[in-house]
Amino acid sequence: MYSQVSILPHHIYRATEHGADFRELCNRLKLTPEMLSDGEAHLPYKPGEDEDFWTHAVALTGDPCLGLHMGQKSDRYNVFGMLGMLAGSCRTIGEAMDAVSRYNDTLTGVFNYKLDVSGTNGIFEMTPIALWEESNLESARQAVDMSIAGWITAIHEMGTRKIYPLQTELKYKKRFEDEYRKIV
């Protein structure tokens, strides 16, 4: 399992916007700022909390809803790199979701996207791998929260009309319900 280094600068810079110290976060992740510029490099996925981005970012910001808050901000940095550019060039939001679903494995092996379309409705699933949830549920949850908020924010900005999800479901226990309501 791996994650492409190109997604880390986005996450790290967003966390610093929410109060994390850049150097301290890099130190905890055992990264140098120079390593963040190698967009082609891959980092192995190691289950647990030692070098987990979300564990350290939440601790450094003190924000238990960090994933939601990071995802709600308009994304001038592109979390998906080249895959995001591909999605951004698609004609429709459905095509963009399909592109990310199809080619996400070029970016990471720890998160999966799936799009099922039936008529004018679709179901878009965002799923961290089971090992991630088993070894660090809070980290996986933060990543899902950022994805949900980020997709909704992007859809609102890209579309010519506001599109809202009919329903969102999380398999995690409810918490901070008011923060989730702020997404839409």
Q: What is the pLDDT of residues 113-152, one digit of tens each?
A: 888 888 888 888 888 999 999 999 999 999 999 988 888 8
Mean pLDDT on 22-42: 87
pLDDT > 70: what percent of the chain? 94
Which pLDDT score, from 0 to 100, does residue 78 have? 60
Q: Among 128, 131, 141, which residue's Cα sits nearest to residue 174?
A: 141
Distance in angstroms (rounded) separating the CA atoms of residues 80 and 7: 6
To the nearest whole number, what is the mean pLDDT of the chain?
A: 85
With a cut of 90, say whether residue 83 has pLDDT above it: no
With a cut of 60, say whether residue 76 has pLDDT above it: no
Q: Which pLDDT band holds residue 77 (cuts at 50, 70, 90)?
A: very low
> Could you read off the pLDDT of 45-64 as tens digits, one per residue?
777 778 899 999 999 999 99
- Count of positions (residues) in the chain: 184
More confident residue, 148 or 165: 148
Which pLDDT score, from 0 to 100, does residue 162 have? 73
Task: Give me the amino acid identity at 147.
Answer: S
Mean pLDDT on 91-106: 86
CB 72 within 8 A of CB 183: yes
- 3 state SS for the chain: CEEECCHHHHHHHHHHHCCCCHHHHHHHCCCCHHHHHCCCCEEECCCCCCCCHHHHHHHHHCCCCHHHHHHHCCCCCCCCHHHHHHHHCCCCHHHHHHHHHHHHHHCECCEEEEEEEECCEEEEEEEECHHHHHHCHHHHHHHHHHHHHHHHHHHHHHCCCCCCCCCCCCCCCCCCHHHHHCCC
Which pLDDT score, from 0 to 100, does residue 161 have? 73
